[in-house]
Amino acid sequence: MFEIKYKDGAARSGVFEVNGKILETPYLFPVVNPKRQVLELKEIERLGFKGVITNSYIIYRDPGLRERALERGVHALIGFDGVVMTDSGSFQLYHYGSVEVSPSEIVRFQDNINVDIGVILDIPTPPDAGYERAQRELEETVRRAEEAAQLDRNMLLAGTVQGSTYPELRERAASRIARLNFDVHAIGGVVPLMEDYRFAELARVILHAKRGLGHSKPVHLFGAGHPVVFALAALLGCDLFDSAAYALYARDGRYITPGGTFKLEELRELPCSCEVCAEHSVKELRSLEAEEQERLLAKHNLISCLEEIKRVRQAIYEGSLWELVAQRARAHPALLEALRVLRGYSSWLERLEPVTKRSAFFYTGAESLSWPAVVRHIERLSWIERRGDELVFLPEREKPYSRSYRIASSERYHICVVSPVFGVIPLEVEETYPLTQHEGVATLDEEQLSFMRRVVGEYARGFKKVHYHAELEFLGIDGEPFEDVSQFHTGGGEELKLRALADYQLGRGAGEVLFAGARAEYSRRTGRIRRAFVGGELVATIRASDGMVVPTIAGAERLLRLRYPRCRVVVAEEAVEFAKAGKSVFARFVVDCDPEIRAMQEVVVVDESDELLATGTALLSAEEMLELERGIAVKPRHRRR
C-alpha cells in the first residue's frame, strides 16, 4: 500500500494507496468536525485534498450522528468521497481524562462506519510526565494496540507510539508497535510540544520513534498542523500530517504563513496571493461578519498549509529538503535549535540519504557541517587507497579544481583542496557529487575554521611529508608552506584517479578489482574521464552529471571478486528471470544486500548463488529494500546476456 518514489534525508515522497485511492506523501489531512464544518467538504476537495480526518468518538457519542453513520457510512455522513481517516477519542481522553467507550469498541465502530483508516485508542501521555507514569501508560497503549491488531477489520488501522518526552521509551514503544499488524504507524502526544515551541524535543521524539518503527509503513505525526514544522518533520521521516489549526486559528482571527502566524488585526498587507488574499484586502477581511471572516481565513490557512506540503514534496524530489529546513529554521530560534539537534543523529540519517541528487549542496550555516553528505564524505575519505608519500594542500579555487590548478595527483604527490564545507577534497574524487556541485560562502565562521583544522589534521596523519599553500597559513597545518604550485605538476595518474573514484563510491578495494590496469577515455568537450577500459574491454563509464562510476556487465563481473555481499543486491529465485530480462527489481524480492548500499548508488544484482544477473541503480537504502514490501529497489541498467 505504500511505495517510495523519491527520497531526501529520512523523507519519503511516494504514494499511499488506500482502498484504490491514491494519496501522495507527504500528505496533509484537513481535520473536519462532524458537527460543524467551517469549510464545506466540496470546497476542501476542490482545493486538491483527497483525504480528510474526522473524529469517530464525536460521532459515536452523538446518537443522531451515530445512527446515520452506521446506516450510511462515514463518507455519506460528512459528504466526502475521498479517503476518510478517523481519530478514536485520544484527543478527548487527553483533555478530559476519560472517554465513554472501550478501546476495542471504538475500533470496531470505526470499521462498522466504513472508515478508510482507523486509529487505536491510545493514551496520550503529556510532556514532562514522570518516567513511571510514561512507562505505565506506554504499556497500556501497547496492550491496546496488541488487542486492536488482532481484531477482524476491513479498514486500515494506525498504531500509535507514545512515551512522553523520554527518547528510550519512544524507541522501545515504536519497536513493539512495528511488530504488530498495523498499516500506518503514528506518533502521538506531541501537540503540547508544538504549542510551546519545544521543537528540539519534538525532533528527538520523532527521531527515536522512527529508529524503532523502521521503514515499511507510512508514519503519521498527529497534530502537526502548522506549516512551520512540515519540512522538519518530513525530513525526519514523517509521511502524514493532520491540521485542525487552519480552522482553529481562523476562529481566533489568525492568519497562517509558512514562517509563522499573524493576527489579522496586526497585518497591514496580506503576504500571499492565494484566491482569498487576491480577492480581499486586509481592510475588507476585517470588515466581514465573523462567520464569513472565519470561513475565508480558514480557506487561506488551509491553502497555506497545502502550498507548504507541495513545497516539501518538490524539495524531496529535487534533493533540496535540507536547505528548505534550514530556511524554515530561521523563522524561529526554537526551530533552529531543533535543526541543531540533528547533529547527534547524523550517522543514522546518512544511512537514508541518497548519494546523488538533482540539486546542488548549499551551505546554509554551521549546521550544514553535520549534514549526511558531509558526514559521509569524511567517512569515505578513509576508503580511498593512499598512493603518494607526500600530501599537498591547496586552497579552494574555481571548480573543477584540477582544471583551475592544471594539476593532478600522482604516485608521489597526493593533492587535496581544503574546503570550508567538506574539509578535504582529494582531486581524484572532486567530480563526485556533491564535491563539485556545492556552493559555500566567502567569509568563514568560527565553526568552519574549527571543522577545517580538525579534518585537515586528521587527514594529514600517516604521510611522510606535508606541503601546504601559504594562503592556508591560518589553519596552522604542520608542514612546509609553498607559493609556487608548479613544482607539484608531475602529470599522469589516470588509473590512480579511477581507483580512487571506485573506492570512494563503492568501498575500499573496489578500485583495485574494477580498475587495475585501466586506461581512460576522455570527453573532447569537457576533458573529463568518461569511459574506462581494461584490456580493451569497457568496464565502466563515469556519469557526467555527478561523477558516479557506472559499471558495465564486464565491470560487474570484476566487482563480484569483492567479498560477499559487497556491492550486491541479492534477489529471490522467483525474481531471477525478471532481473535477467532487464526488469526492475522489487523490494519484496530482495533477500540480502550490502549494508553499505545507499539510495541512488550503482549496484550489482545477483541470485542466491551469487551469479550475476544485472546492474542497476538502487532507489532505496539497504535497510529500506530489506524491509519494504512494495516499490522498486533497483532500477535496471545493464543485464547479463
pLDDT category, 386, cuts 50, 70, 90? confident
Examine the residue annotation and report whether 8 is marked as an active-site residue of this protein. Answer: no
**In the chain, what is the greatest distance between 2 CA atoms, to the nearest angstrom?**
89
Determine what percent of the chain is predicted with pLDDT higher than 90.
Answer: 92
| Cβ atoms 166, 204 nearer than 8 A | no
| Cβ atoms 265, 291 nearer than 8 A | no
Q: Which homologous superfamily does the CATH classification assign to the domain defined by 493-562?
A: ArcTGT, C2 domain (3.10.450.90)
Q: Which of 8, 62, 81, 87 is catalytic?
A: 87
Per-residue pLDDT, averaged over 226-251, amounts to: 96
Per-residue pLDDT, averaged over 458-482, amounts to: 96
User: What residue spans define the domains of the chain?
Assistant: 2-345, 361-484, 493-562, 563-641
What is the full DSSP assignment across 595-629?
Answer: TT--TT-EEEEE-TT--EEEEEEESS-HHHHHH-S
Per-residue pLDDT, averaged over 158-163, amounts to: 97
Cis, bond preceding 333 (omega within 30 deg of 0): no
* pLDDT tens-place string over residues 197-223: 999 999 999 999 999 999 999 999 999
Q: Which CATH number fits domain 563-641: 2.30.130.10, 3.30.470.10, 3.40.190.10, 2.40.50.140?
A: 2.30.130.10
What are the angstrom distances between the C-alpha of 175 and each of 122, 161, 168? Answer: 16, 9, 11
Which residues partner with 184 through β-bridges?
158
User: What pLDDT does residue 150 have?
Assistant: 94
| Cβ atoms 625, 633 nearer than 8 A | yes
Distance of CA 24 to the CA centre of its chain: 15
User: What pLDDT does residue 527 have?
Assistant: 85
Q: Which fold has domain 2-345?
A: TIM Barrel (3.20.20)
User: What pLDDT does residue 492 have?
Assistant: 65
Q: Does domain 361-484 have CATH number 3.40.109.10?
A: no
* pLDDT tens-place string over residues 39-75: 999 999 999 999 999 999 999 999 999 999 999 999 9
pLDDT category, 96, cuts 50, 70, 90? low
**Domains 361-484 and 563-641 are alike in CATH topology:** no
Grid coordinates of 492: 599522469
Q: Per DSSP, which regions of 71-217 are E strands?
A: 83-87, 117-119, 156-161, 184-187
